[in-house]
Structure 1
């Protein structure tokens, strides 16, 4: 068991180290220009030189991402519960949620910026990131609430359970795995939404990592661009693994998907 876990960590780590060493060797051996592909050592140096500005930008991107994700969870779960209690409300509102999901964020970003105001760019970025992150939680939670065992639901009704008792003691526990799966998708999408929105906003008033990438690209500071990209990727990985850990802690004692991993 412990050896298996160790191998799952060790093998990807060794592959990553080998890839970085090969990258460094090929860049140096072929004399590739820095503005085309910088060596990992040069990217690390650029990260050290721009540490303060990159960390400040990372915090801006992270704060927008986490707030958008939190609002998406609250809104998605709340609306899904409403849908599960009223088929009429679901029929009336769900198509508009789909429209919101399928509309490209880059298409509506200029409108959001105009409506919110260019002096409130962070609010516009938050709205755009929320739009991207909202639908996976809504759709997955709605599916989970609808997937509660109908035999158990009938049994609850037979014993005179109220709608609140059916919801809190049957539907929500049954929907938890679906909800957590939606959250794992939504966490990454919130980050993508924040980055894409900042690329579109790109007015210079933003200070997130996406703006640092634009700024570095305009100045041909490619090592700095790579440093910001690596920070973004690392942030996405951390968000995913944090949500995976939460999923595991909530499910491992009773849900089949997590119990099997334990075995």
Structure 2
């Protein structure tokens, strides 16, 4: 058998392998085409419902009117979007710093974890709308109020997931570090933190969406007094004035911002984990 025959033989796939590759290709195409097709269909139905039922614009505007409003009110809407995103990213940054730092302390001492973890749970389960009146009394700066509310919402997922990851290290590996007389900080840096990275990134993706939710909810509460200039206040203002196109435009911008935040954080997690963690390796098969 010549070299050419050998190469051609290796290139021939058995039916099962060919079917598997074909199914993977269909899944990759479908994962993009199906969501786009369903979204286009939903927008078309939205438009047709408005036309068929002759719904007034101040009750339910057509998609084209909403897009035109986004263009015509771009200066107002996008400036408000920047305010909301500033609060979102700052609160997410503080949640990462505080959550990871406190999780490291919890991993170093069970007594610290048992003492302070209940306070984190209390912050998580208490509705932010109920906490805001107290924050409004004790905090003077408006930006600090919104930032604190958003941080409270985003803090717990980072803390709980990172703590879980730090405490989920293989006991045999921990024993190996002890046999080699590794210090507590060497064990933390070389073993626990790498092992906790997938858990931390999972919590980060959750916290990214929650920080945006917290920022919008805080703006809603503070916007009632006309002091907030974020997208939530634009939604309240448009609702009072029956300006439904601007209201829908602001809602779409909030949704798109949340989608972009989730996609960016998912990409960061994939880039970090793709070379060594099983959850990312499976996606590249």
TM range (shorter): over 0.9
What does the per-residue CA deviation read over 1:241-260, in whole Å, with 9 as the maximum and x for residues that have no partner? Answer: 11100111111111111111
Which one has the largest radius of gyration? 2
**Alignment counterpart, residue 213 of structure 1, candidates 213, 221, 235:** 235
| Alpha-carbon separation, structure 1, partners of 2:218 and 2:133 | 9
**Alignment counterpart, residue 267 of structure 2, candidates 232, 245, 248:** 245
Structure 2, unmatched stretches of 5+, are 1-23
1:78 Cα deviation (Å)? Answer: 0.4
1:3 Cα deviation (Å)? Answer: 5.5
* Aligned: 1:258 with 2:262: no
- Which residue of structure 2 aligns with residue 64 of structure 1? 87
1:91 Cα deviation (Å)? Answer: 1.1
| Alpha-carbon separation, structure 1, partners of 2:64 and 2:189 | 54
What does the per-residue CA deviation read over 1:185-213, in whole Å, with 9 as the maximum and x for residues that have no partner? Answer: 10000000001111111221211000000
C-alpha contact 1:24 1:40 (8 A) present in aligned 2: yes
* Aligned: 1:13 with 2:36: yes
- Which residue of structure 2 aligns with residue 174 of structure 1? 195
C-alpha contact 1:199 1:214 (8 A) present in aligned 2: yes
TM-score, normalisation: structure 2: 0.89
Structure 1, unmatched stretches of 5+, are none
Residue-pair matches, total? 261
* Aligned: 1:190 with 2:205: no
* Aligned: 1:36 with 2:59: yes
What does the per-residue CA deviation read over 1:52-110, in whole Å, with 9 as the maximum and x for residues that have no partner? Answer: 00000000000000000000000000000000001111111111111111111000111
**Alignment counterpart, residue 163 of structure 1, candidates 154, 167, 184:** 184
| Alpha-carbon separation, structure 2, partners of 1:249 and 1:5 | 19
* Aligned: 1:146 with 2:167: yes
* Aligned: 1:85 with 2:108: yes
* Aligned: 1:126 with 2:147: yes
Corresponding residue SS for 2:242: coil
Task: Give the 5 Å matches for 1:82-121.
Answer: 82-117=105-140, 120-121=141-142
| Alpha-carbon separation, structure 2, partners of 1:26 and 1:195 | 29
* Aligned: 1:76 with 2:66: no
1:7 Cα deviation (Å)? Answer: 2.7
Corresponding residue SS for 2:279: helix
- Which residue of structure 1 aligns with residue 19 of structure 2? none
- Which residue of structure 2 aligns with residue 135 of structure 1? 156
